[in-house]
Amino acid sequence: MPRSSAKLSASSCAVSRMVSSGVEPSAIVSRACSMRRNSEIERRGMTGSCHGTPGQHKDVDRRPVTGWYHARRRPCRGRLALSRAMAIGLMVGALAAGVGCGVRQDDAAPPQVEQAVTSHTAAEVRWETDWNRGFERARREGKPVLVDFYADWCVWCKHLETITFRDQKVAALLASRVVPVAVNIDGNVQQLIREHRIEAPPTIVVFDAAGAELGRIPGYLPPTGFLAAVEDFLKATPPAAR
């Protein structure tokens, strides 16, 4: 089944279960709005970052060229217009399409992000975990430095590690064209965070070997967007440092 069709089926199932359980229309609309917002984030290649403390995550909309976009939630139009009859109509439509909707609680649970952090220790990519050692290596090898400011509790950091960094082209760039450095913001690095104005994880910052910032990615980007952004940053690197 195509990924888009699978997502539509999953969304229809979720709505159907809520209707059959007697959930109020307003709650159904809220759930539908959340599904639509998450779908838009993925479709448009927006970024996500984790603000505040663990459990307080927000979506960050950052489109190419226009730079920074602060975290925000868009209101869902027509929230008050959806009645119970329309919600039931969604359920009937799902059933008419032949969608089999189970009622087990674990079926409705969202997929969990893989907890094992493997990208920072992958054999083909040599990540440094010490700031000074990373820049010493960069000067020795004549390469720029790519720093990943992350946190173990950050959901978007897990997406970056398990999706973007595992992409074949991204891994090739990290292994051959930059010196990758992983910095856990919950460690003893508060001076670095203040000095480089790190507002929320994940934040990717690319420096030249001397420590001058070439560019940054505030939040998660899928592999294609990540590669395009880093390539732009590397174009600003002096030839001798490439």
Q: List pLDDT tens digits, range 65-108.
A: 333 333 333 344 444 344 444 544 544 444 444 433 333 333 33
Q: Cα(159)–Cα(162) distance, rounded to whole angstroms?
A: 5
CA angle (130, 133, 137) in 5-degree steps: 135
- Please tell me which residue, 63 or 213, carries the higher pLDDT value: 213
5 sits in which H/E element: helix 3-20
Here the tokens at position 1 are: 């089944």
Long-range contacts of 90-97 (CB under 8 A, 24+ apart): 90/12, 90/15, 90/16, 90/19, 91/12, 91/15, 91/16, 91/19, 91/20, 93/12, 94/9, 94/12, 94/13, 94/15, 94/16, 95/16, 97/9, 97/12
Q: Do 132 and 75 share a domain, yes or no?
A: no
Q: Could you identify the residue written with the tokens 């292994």?
A: 175
Q: List pLDDT tens digits, range 17-49.
A: 555 566 555 555 545 554 554 454 445 555 566
Confidence band for 131, pLDDT divided at 50, 70 and 90:
very high
Mean pLDDT over 51-65 rounds to 41
- Percent share of the chain, pLDDT over 90: 44
Domain boundary among 108, 138, 173: 108
- Percent share of the chain, pLDDT over 70: 47
Q: Do 175 and 66 share a domain, yes or no?
A: no
Range of the domain at 24: 3-108
Domain boundary among 108, 137, 164: 108
3-class SS of residue 217: strand
Q: Do 92 and 139 share a domain, yes or no?
A: no
Its pTM stands at: 0.53
**What CATH number is associated with residue 177?**
3.40.30.10
